Structures are given as C-alpha cells and as structure tokens.
Amino acid sequence: MTTTTQVPTKAPTAATGTATPARTVRPIPMTRLVGVELRKMFDTRAGFWLMASVGIVSVLATAAVILWAPDEAITQETFSTAIGMPLSVVLPIIAVMAVTSEYSQRTGLTTYTLVPWRGRVLTSKLVTTLLVGVVAMVGALAIGALGNLLGSAITGLDAQWDITVGQFGLIVLANVLGMLMGYMLGVIFRSTPAALVGYLVYSFVLPIAFGTLAAFQEWFRDLQPWVDVQFAITRLFDNSMTAEYWQQLGVTTLVWLWIPLALGLRAVLRAEVK
C-alpha cells in the first residue's frame, strides 16, 4: 500500500511575504524497488556467479545428455529433466541470498531507512525472486530445445517434442515452490549460513529421514505424502498429479512453507534492524 505525503505549507517569510507552496513527497515506486533488488543479485561476486551458474548448469546438463544418453533418450523431456534437477538446487539458494544479503552485508539499516515500510522491501524481494525463477526456467527450456535439435542432428533421428505446456507449467510450479522455500528460510533466519543449513535440512535430511521411516514403518507409509513436502513437490515433475496429490501438496506446503513464512514475515516487520 502506498501513500502520498503532503509537506505542510511554510509560514510567510519576511523577505518575500509569500508562503512556500506545499511539496508532495511520493513513495518510491515498486518497479524501482524491484529493479534495485534485481541489480543487487549481480553486484557481488558470489551473487554474479550464482546467477551465472543457472546458465552454466543448463549448458552442462544439455551437453551431458548429448554425450552420454542413448539415442532413444534424446527427447525434450530428457533435456528438461536433466536441466531441471540441478536448477531445483540452485534456484532456492538464489532466493535465500536475496533476503539474507541485506543482513550479511549490513545494508538493512540503509534500505529500511530509505523505504521505512519493510513490507514493500520484502515484496520487491519476493517479486524479484519469482521473476528470476520463471526467466531461468524459460531460458532452461530454450537451451534444452537447442540441445534437442543438436542431439537429433547428431543421431540422425527426428526431434522428439514430448513435453506439453501443462507439463512445463508443473515443472515451473515445482521450482517456484522450491524458491519460496528458500525465501521463507531467508526470512526466518536472516543469516546466509543458517538459512543454507536450513535449506539442506529441508531438501535432503528430512526427505531421507521420512523415506527411511516409510520404508521400515508400515504405519508411516501412507502418512508420508501428507507430511513430506519434498515428496509432494517431486510429483510435479512426474506429471502424475491427481486430486489427492494436489490435496497432499496443499497440506504439506501449508505446514512447511506458508505458516513458517507468515511467522518469519511477522518477525521481520517487528524486529529491530541493526
């Protein structure tokens, strides 16, 4: 929510005998805040190479498919899967650093002085994070398409375009949820090392623990899809979503994403900035 501040009219001065007209102070527009946050992602060496890694990983994954995949596996779905797996790890880290860099680089006091309502800053960081994620996925799709054409030319087979718009949408949704996880952890911890450790626990430790428990405990096997958020998100990549799977995705993200995010945002809005 933006407001326009009216600076009161000053009293008449002795020199001129006239009053100074009121000056309208307008808030910084959201588009400018998003542009600033986007520029921040490239300002540091770590941020630059992290963003560059999106393209690097996509090219390396495409080359790996062309070099080592069997001829019958040279399809658009294979390239999309090969690129999507490493991006699902890199993109949440970008989301983490979009939030925690404000605290690790000690720029929070300056930022929140220039934009006193912290909700606008957090919103701009969220918009920038999602924008980067969607653009990265579209770019990865384009690189995969080029790899599909190149691989088909090398093998002498017809290019197989076996991924639909709906399937690509589910892949984008899965990666967006992963980035929101990273954003949530950044908001909660407000420290890059702590948030990255939390991300590793969310993405690797908990899924392994839940999978092991489901493998050895029959009572937990049917319960796992309702409590394991990574298990529920992974189904988006398989294009096997049913009404029940969507319900499980909603329940797990509510518990592991939306409620912690709401608590973290409340803490950021109320905490003292140092």
Q: What is the pLDDT along the chain (274 residues), one digit of tens a residue?
A: 444 545 455 555 555 555 556 666 677 888 888 888 888 888 777 778 888 888 888 889 888 888 888 877 888 888 888 888 888 888 899 899 888 888 877 777 788 888 888 888 999 999 998 998 888 888 888 998 898 888 888 888 777 887 888 888 888 899 899 999 999 999 999 888 899 999 999 888 999 999 999 999 888 988 999 999 999 998 888 777 899 999 999 999 999 999 999 999 998 888 777 6
Residue 97, judged by CB atoms within 10 A of its CB (0-12, 13-18, 19+), counts as buried
Report the pLDDT value the prediction gives residue 140, as an integer from 0 to 100: 87
Cα distances (Å, whole numbers) of residue 133 to 85, 180, 181, 256: 14, 10, 13, 20
Q: Do residues 78 and 69 touch, judged by C-beta distance below 8 A?
A: yes
Report the pLDDT value the prediction gives residue 18, as an integer from 0 to 100: 59
Q: How many CB atoms lie within 10 A of CB 105?
A: 12
Report the pLDDT value the prediction gives residue 2, as an integer from 0 to 100: 47
pTM of the model as a whole: 0.84
